[in-house]
């Protein structure tokens, strides 16, 4: 069994813990929260072995194989770095870090700890529906572009409208739409088409100064990918990938729960795979086989691909922000 500790007690961590239980390959060894009552309540609910209010103590005392980070974006780097230095592998919620400087520092530290793995929890590219889409894209005679959409109204935007500054909508915590929902379609584009040659971002800023929604253009030389995402409204339009007369359609570039392939005559073939009991189950299953057998040839190849995607996505996110003159305090460090 893989001994895991968690950082964060919000809904995403709860969903992760439930996926871990379904996989039957992990044991929840430790829970961290800044507040003792919150840590103890989350630990009791999920039958964790221990709870902590000091992150360093958890890393020192809990005998962890891996730690899961679901803290505010701006904290990911220091928490991941500390775990790596303790020879503990890391599963970090997207985005892994705030900028390229932080990613470069993590890569340098990983080189000193060859048994440690850094894994970004971009769940959509681990799903069976992604693998079905990936095969369909590879079968297209040519690709002429794509439009990828993921837009969901955030309850925290109500707080912004009320004059507050929730973490997910502040630059101080490396927040905003691009760093949240935008990561999923960017991941999809990078995983399917590689790293773009040029990018541009056109954000709509909210009262906190962070981006609430935006449109990103990823240029691949002979085709473009338009990415539409946001946290201040809802979108119901399907995303599409364009061949010649063929078109691939997906219900959501983030959730990726339905996939269709349209032939030249307009008839649609349903490529959708069976429903998942938990949307995070495929990624924690993938991560488990890697952590349990990192030297297996397929597992090692998959890890190299996942790590490459993480580095490329981080570069794209940073380049998009630079194109929009959108900087974080983390960039100054």
212-253 pLDDT, tens digit per residue, is: 999 999 999 999 999 999 999 999 999 999 999 999 999 999
292-330 pLDDT, tens digit per residue, is: 999 999 999 999 999 999 999 999 999 999 999 999 999
247-283 pLDDT, tens digit per residue, is: 999 999 999 999 999 999 999 999 999 999 999 999 9
Q: What is residue 161's predicted lDDT score, i.e. its pLDDT?
A: 97
User: pLDDT band at residue 87, thresholds of 50, 70 and 90?
Assistant: very high
126-148 pLDDT, tens digit per residue, is: 999 999 999 999 999 999 999 99
Domains for the chain: give ranges and CATH numbers: 2-118 (3.40.50.720), 125-280+313-332 (3.30.360.10)
Q: Across the strands, what pairs with 26?
A: 2
Rounded CA-CA distance 209/169 in Å is 8
Residue 277: phi and psi, rounded to 5, are -70, -20
In DSSP notation, 193-245 reads: H-S-SEEEEEEEE-TTSSEEEEEEEEE-SS-EEEEEEESSS---PPEEEE-SS
Contacts of 12 (CB under 8 A, 6+ apart): 70, 93
Is 333 a residue whose pLDDT tops 90?
no
Predicted TM-score (pTM) of the model is 0.96
Element (H, E) at 136: helix 128-139
């Amino acid at each position: 069994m893989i001994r895991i500790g968690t950082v964060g007690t919000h809904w995403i961590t709860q969903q992760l813990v439930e996926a871990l239980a379904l996989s039957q390959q992990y044991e929840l060894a430790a829970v961290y929260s800044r507040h003792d009552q919150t840590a103890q309540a989350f630990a009791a609910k999920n039958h964790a072995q221990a709870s902590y209010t000091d992150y360093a103590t958890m890393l020192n005392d809990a005998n962890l194989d891996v730690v899961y980070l679901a803290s505010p974006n701006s904290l990911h780097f220091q928490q991941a770095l500390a775990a790596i230095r303790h020879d503990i592998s890391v599963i970090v919620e997207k985005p892994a870090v705030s900028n390229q400087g932080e990613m470069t520092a993590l890569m340098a530290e990983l080189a000193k700890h060859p048994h440690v793995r850094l894994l970004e929890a971009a769940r959509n590219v681990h799903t069976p529906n992604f693998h079905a889409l990936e095969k369909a894209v590879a079968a297209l005679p040519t690709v002429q572009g794509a439009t990828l959409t993921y837009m969901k109204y955030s309850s925290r935007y109500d707080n912004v409208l009320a004059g507050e500054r929730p973490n997910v909508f502040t630059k101080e915590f490396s927040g905003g739409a691009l760093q949240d929902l935008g990561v999923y379609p960017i991941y999809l584009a990078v995983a399917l088409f590689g790293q773009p040659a040029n990018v541009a971002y056109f954000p709509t800023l909210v009262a906190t100064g962070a981006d609430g929604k935006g449109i990103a253009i990823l240029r691949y030389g002979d085709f473009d990918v338009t990415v539409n995402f946001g946290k201040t409204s809802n979108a119901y339009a399907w995303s599409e990938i364009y061949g010649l007369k063929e078109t691939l359609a997906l219900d959501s570039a983030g959730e990726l729960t339905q996939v269709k392939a349209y032939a030249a005559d307009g008839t649609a073939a349903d490529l959708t795979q069976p429903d998942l009991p938990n949307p995070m189950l495929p990624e924690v299953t993938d991560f488990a086989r890697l952590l349990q057998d990192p030297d297996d040839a397929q597992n090692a190849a998959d890890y190299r691909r996942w790590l490459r995607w993480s580095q490329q996505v981080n570069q794209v996110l940073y380049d998009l922000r630079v194109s929009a003159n959108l900087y974080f305090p983390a960039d100054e460090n």
